A = this chain, B = another copy of it.
């Protein structure tokens, strides 16, 4: 069989107060089209369908619409699990009915041991879990996610039908992966990592959680990554989905084109407002993270940059003069006129007081001294 592997949709997510609803709709449209073009037998969504357990009404309406489109309109079987961003209890709403149309949405640990068979493949849908659930389920102490997964995998293997392929759908941090910033980091002392060695009996492991599809470099265990860039640290990560053939095994990466990109622009204030970057990105609808190279203070910086880049999500100033520098200047024995001149240059990038300003300042200083 052939299926499409995606994850981490994070419907409802905002990027520094910008709604991503349109971007997410555009990414969804591409995923839907790919599912049709590749004539897949199922779509796998490996957790974090929502960005928050308490999703907004708009997010609920958007995700409901997407799932309905794929399953009821396109008649595609769906295989989904809850991730750490989802509320398992809320996401479960309707799930018993969904199965009537081959939409399998698993949100409990127990349901991971009810494999779904589609064509030649048994799918084990393991939702994001916490250790206490595993302790309760197996009625024994469990100290790490690795230990939990050893129990879970063992139980799954007892359910393996030998003439079938075996695919695990899961949402966790597999060992060897490298993180990006936009996952909520929940590790305590490395207890959260699942060793990839535990997962080798599956023909494929369709993972969600990390947003980088290259986070794990195992032929048969993959993160799909998120369909969109959700943080500045993902600016250089190509987004897409996996098309997975089970027999013979074949993995195909298909990139998604963002409606608007997320880019990091580096340069001085002058370059960003008048140079090549300013011309190339003028009035861009892309999400822009700015690395400003200037050392000096710049007055009303955000508003002046927003004229050129309406969707600034971050400004970083690695070279900015620190308050310590200012303090050194203030405490140095400079005469008042030089101090004022220096300060003016800091606030108004490298400008100096003009003759008229200098005259006004001198008059005021003289008056103070005489007073």
Contact = CB atoms under 8 A, between A and B. Distances in A.
Interface of A: 53-54, 57-58, 60-61, 64, 68, 72, 87, 89-90, 92-98, 100-101, 103
Nearest to A92: B64
A93 B98 CA distance: 11
A96 B100 CA distance: 12
Contacts of A64: 92-94
Contacts of A100: 97, 100-101
A130 B242 CA distance: 45
Nearest to A62: B89
A194 to B, nearest CB: 26
State how many copies of this chain the complex holds.
2
Contacts of A90: 57, 60
A73 to B, nearest CB: 10
22 contacts: A53-B57, A54-B54, A57-B87, A57-B89, A57-B90, A58-B89, A60-B90, A61-B92, A64-B93, A64-B94, A68-B96, A72-B96, A72-B97, A93-B93, A93-B94, A94-B94, A94-B95, A94-B97, A97-B97, A97-B98, A97-B101, A100-B101
A340 B249 CA distance: 93
Q: Dominant SS at the A interface? A: helix
A155 to B, nearest CB: 25
Contacts of A61: 89, 92
Contacts of A57: 53, 87, 89-90
Contacts of A96: 68, 72
A98 B94 contact: yes
Nearest to A71: B97
Contacts of A103: 97
A89 B57 CA distance: 6
Nearest to A93: B93
Point out which of A93, A95, A98 has the most chain B C-beta atoms below 10 A from its C-beta: A93
A8 B97 CA distance: 24
A90 B12 CA distance: 14
Contacts of A92: 61, 64
Given A54-B54, A57-B89, 4 more contacts: A60-B89, A93-B94, A100-B100, A100-B101
A96 B64 CA distance: 10
Contacts of A97: 72, 94, 97-98, 100-101, 103
